[in-house]
Amino acid sequence: MDKISNQATSSTGFSRRDFIRTSAAVGVSAILAGTRQAAYAGGSDKIRVGLIGCGGRGTGAGIIDCATSSKGVELVAIGDVFQDYIDAAPQRIKNNLKKRKLAVDEIYKVTPETSFVGLDAYKKVLACDIDMVILTTPPYFRPVQLKAAIDAGKHVFIEKPVAVDPAGVRSIIATSEVATKKGLNIVAGTQMRRARHIMAIMKEIHNGAMGDIVGGQCVRCGGGMLNWGSKSKTRKSEWSEIEWQIRRWLFVNWLSGDFIVEQHVHNLDLLNWAMQGPPVQCMGMGGRQVRTGPQYGNIFDHIAVEYLYPNDVRVEYMGSQIDGVSSRSDLRLAGTKGKAYVDFAEGKIEGENPFTYDGPSVKPNVQEYADLITSIREGKHINEGKRIAETTLTAIMGRMSAYTGRALKWDWVMNASKLKLGPDKMELGSFTMEPVAVPGKTTLI
């Protein structure tokens, strides 16, 4: 019952699966020279998708952006830890497809036999006849699930962040190397990498428009998200500790990595992009003043980190999730010939070589899926695994420094830290989450 058969073949006996696999291995030109050129060029070839993680992201932006991005997308299998999420997923997905005015019956091909529940649901999705999988589970699960997907020979869209600790980051990097050897594609959910105005600004920065970068600020301050997952605020009697924590994952550090990792990874990714690599050291501080109730787990609500990049370039990060304070989300850099400003909507360079982008735009959250599907269909390898792993570690080391109050070096965090969050064995039983960190007292691991 775990596998979906695909009997459709052309008159030559060359199947859709043969086409996808061969094009990934040898390039599309060799295939298009043969019998499939007319059919594929007409858009009849399907990309069969599996969805692992059926919460708001998976049933909303995840599969919906994927289906919006390209013709021929079929969702054929879904999986989640919880039965109620699987029960609700079909209608949520169909409703969201309708809102985008997409052809529901052409896209939604999931059946009860291809809907899986449990901690091993991801394995069953990967056993189905799919070309690519979307990973939208809590970040803690992503290293194991990415490895399983690549081992199963699937292309992957993996949401950001990709891990919650250094051990997970190392796993992602190792799996990404395997993906390259196997010719499999990995695209990460750092959607602003596809924003045309940011792409143009970064090109100007890297071409020297603002001279050498000497410092800057990376800021993201926003609301407290106090009503997130309102139905799970109070633990139900039938929920184990682990189940409740997974349902409240956003506020549990072993599942989300804290807000600097789970959300502000977007902003830190832009910073690493501008600096053309990760920092060499950081020193942070933070705490928890507003989100103090047990329903908000054990994460902080404000963190500040100084990131040190090569050539003694220091960039200050400031982040918070607190209601009623000033909101801001941007990156500002100072250089020897000017200064740059970037946010998710606009960007500019001022100084000796002023620049403002006025070209076309795309929806970056849709474009990232279009790029992945194009890479699958045309056999053009794309692998963002190592890059998103490094950005994820940038956020993780900032959190580790803020939790402990200790300055940390990149090489130590990447290669020597023994920190591995979460239970030793994943099962829906008892597990006491770590207490809220206290800088100066929490142990560095």
Give 165's pLDDT tier (boundaries 50, 70, 90): very high
Helix or strand or coil: residue 47? strand
Give 168's pLDDT tier (boundaries 50, 70, 90): very high
Identity of the residue numbered 174: A
Residue 380 has pLDDT above 50, yes or no: yes
Ordered DSSP codes for 363-409: -HHHHHHHHHHHHHHHT---B-HHHHHHHHHHHHHHHHHHHH---EE
Residues 148 and 295 in one domain: no
Residues 251 and 395 in one domain: yes
Helix or strand or coil: residue 198? helix
Predicted local distance difference test score (pLDDT) of residue 45: 87
Predicted local distance difference test score (pLDDT) of residue 226: 97
Residues 203 and 347 in one domain: yes
Residues 186 and 206 in one domain: no
Residues 212 and 134 in one domain: no
Q: The tokens of 132 are what? A: 């690519």
Residue 25 has pLDDT above 70, yes or no: no
Chain centre distance of CA 378: 23
Residues 290 and 333 in one domain: yes
Q: Is the distance from CB of 305 to CB of 290 less than 8 angstroms?
A: no
Residues 226 and 350 in one domain: yes
Structurally, how many domains does the chain consist of?
A: 2
Q: What is the CATH number of the domain that holds 237?
A: 3.30.360.10
Range of the domain at 110: 16-192
Among residues 177, 192, 207, which one ends one of the domains?
A: 192
For residue 123, give the nearest of 55, 52, 186 by alpha carbon. Answer: 52
* Mean pLDDT estimate for the chain: 91
